[in-house]
Chains A and B, each alone.
Chain A
Amino acid sequence: MAFPPALARALARMGLPEAERERLAALHYHDAGHGYDLFGMHPDFVAFGEALVSPLYQRYFRVRSCGAHHIPSVGPAVLAANHSGNLPIDGMMIWADVLRQTDPPRVARPIADHFVPSLPWVGTLFARTGMVGGSRGNARALLESGNLLLIFPEGVPGITKGWSKRYQLQHFRVGHAELAIRHRAPIVPVAVIGAEEQYPELFSSKRLGALFGIERVNVPATPIPLPVRYHIHYGPPIRVDEELRPSDADDPAVVAGVAARVQEAVAALITAGLAARKGVFL
């Protein structure tokens, strides 16, 4: 996806209504001098990305968003979400949802596993739309410059957990909590309902997983994801920025406690979201 921003802009023009393009013009980001930020994000590619994702967001997965007012309109923040579905479509839908629901628009910067930036074409396209590789240094730099991070604390075990474990949160890593405490960023819990059913699993392969440097890959029973309805629920922020000092990030017990609170908050949103929905496809 190494094409010029002008082409991305032209493609976005074809896929997005003018009002949305005008709204995206207010997108705030740190231009490092040639229209790109330090991590390679470019607003024209963000618009192009939205144009690509829009048909999935609006028509295929018919995303319903709830509680987006909890996303801070400025300053550093961490969105912590459950992860599922074999392919990171949940990340794409949250990314698109945040872009659409915030005004002025904000780009959620997904923190991806190390192997993602090394994927040809895909890694480049994702970087142009805001994704960064999952290193502590990248996350730190983004929070220091006031960005909104999208982190899946379950990591790869969440997305590959398989059909039988759907809606069962896997172990939450603590990195997101430590980063949020240290950089005084509120944590917004996010629950994605629907993604867990998009790809019924046929079998699980460790050998395929080794190709990507991950533990396993679930081979789905369907060639394309099922047209489940996505529900994205944002909970009230956990104000670690107000409750704790940055130095508390050095206390493992405090960090683990915050991560547990986030996990509980995401679990509660999942429970409420599952109770509220009328069906997998409705």
Chain B
Amino acid sequence: MRSVLVSGADSPTGERLVRTLLGDSRVDRVLAVVRGKVERSPLMASDRLRIVGVDLASARRAHELLFGPARDMAIDVVVHLGHLTPPGEEGERAHAQSVESVRSIIELSERHPTIRRLVLRSDAAVYQVQRDLPVLIGEDHPLNMAGTAPQYVRDRVEADVTACVRMGLSPLQIVVLRMAEILGPGTGSQLFDYLGSPVCLRPAGYDPMLNLLTQDDAVAALQRAIHSEAQGVFNIPGADTLPLTACIASWGRLSIPVPGVWMTPLYRWRRLVTGHDFRYGMNRRRFHYSGVLDGTRARQVLGYVSAHPVDWPSPVWDREPR
């Protein structure tokens, strides 16, 4: 039986994970950590679920959480989702949330009396995508260490590496799940935001392959990581691998190719006018070059296989008979 702490339980993935764990007979108790107020959480506390509101950007609050409620509940697995900030959040506060919370949770968990396993959700944004790198991205694929990368990416890489460097050295079992982009609201998905417009501009002449994950598959992967004894880095791809144009069409949007140099100013203008968050500069490379996560290791070690495709509003191209 596991007792699991889920940070970021107020995110769509976190909330769904908590509900799944409550229905999992192998899980004894769940400690759900939300960033905001507990009363706003749609989760209902019970004898198996305790909900606490903690700002994990503060190392002091993290300490009080782990050596307070988590110790009392004999938590043995921590699933850290609470470090994921939206791409638009920048500055010291976002860095503390994204990176320092990971650092402090690892440090605290290593000397914790009951915690023995940490599952960290990372994402595919940590990988470098460029023309001379493989389309199929394995766990040893180069990370995006460019100093010019947006803070959102740099923080994710730093958080990921912070966990990776402790693997094998730490008494903790550390699992890092690098997930494909989850196409859904509240997930920080740039593509979801991009598809929010009826017309989607794309760089003319390019149609890269994308891989997309669903909440159901993300939760299934997290659940497997919780119950496994394995540690390491695992790519978590989704069931949908398709070109950008097929993605746009299947979402019921109109795709218009424009010269690549127009993309940044047009989408900057869109952000200013409509309040959308999609930043072309953050996505420029993957709008040119294909990058698809290779889930072989997750399949072989964790037994994870993507089984829940995206529920496309208008899947037009893939259903026609040949």
Contact = CB atoms under 8 A, between A and B. Distances in A.
Contact of B209 (A6, A40, A137): A40
Contact of B318 (A1, A3, A35): A35
Contacts of A121: 204-205
A62 interface: no
Contacts, number: 109
Interface stretch (A53-61, A76-84, A111-119): A111-119
A43 B202 CA distance: 24
B205 A132 contact: no
Contact of B242 (A36, A132, A135): A36
Contacts of B208: 40
Given A35-B318, A127-B290, A120 B204 contact: yes
B241 A138 contact: no
A137 B134 contact: yes
A38 B292 contact: yes
Contacts of A9: 320, 322
Nearest to B209: A40
B239 interface: yes
A108 B95 CA distance: 47
A207 interface: no
Interface in B93-147: 131-136, 138, 141
B135 A138 contact: yes
A141 interface: yes
A118 B135 contact: no
A96 to B, nearest CB: 20
B320 A5 contact: yes
A223 interface: no
Contacts of B243: 2, 36, 40
B240 interface: yes
Contacts of A44: 322
A42 to B, nearest CB: 9
B245 interface: yes
A138 B131 contact: no
B294 to A, nearest CB: 7
Contacts of A117: 131, 289-290
A4 interface: yes
A40 B136 CA distance: 11
Interface string A1-22: 1111110010000000000000
B279 interface: no
Given A6-B317, A35-B317, A124-B205, A40 B290 contact: yes
Interface of A is mostly: loop
A40 B245 CA distance: 12
B131 A33 contact: no
B232 interface: no
Contacts of A134: 132
A1 B208 CA distance: 11
B141 to A, nearest CB: 7
Contact of B288 (A3, A36, A118): A118
B30 interface: no
Interface string B221-260: 0000000000000000001111111100110000101000
A33 B211 CA distance: 10
B240 A33 contact: yes
Contacts of A141: 134-136, 294
Contacts of A39: 135-136, 209, 290
B124 to A, nearest CB: 14
Given A2-B257, A44-B322, A124-B207, A38 B136 contact: yes
Nearest to B315: A34
A4 B289 CA distance: 19
5 contacts: A4-B316, A34-B250, A39-B209, A40-B135, A132-B135
Interface of B: 131-136, 138, 141, 202-209, 239-246, 249-250, 255, 257, 288-290, 292, 294, 309, 316-318, 320, 322
Interface of A: 1-6, 9, 25, 32-36, 38-40, 43-44, 114-115, 117-121, 123-124, 127, 132-138, 140-141
Q: Which 3 A-B pairs have the closest CB atoms?
A: A120-B205, A137-B134, A32-B241
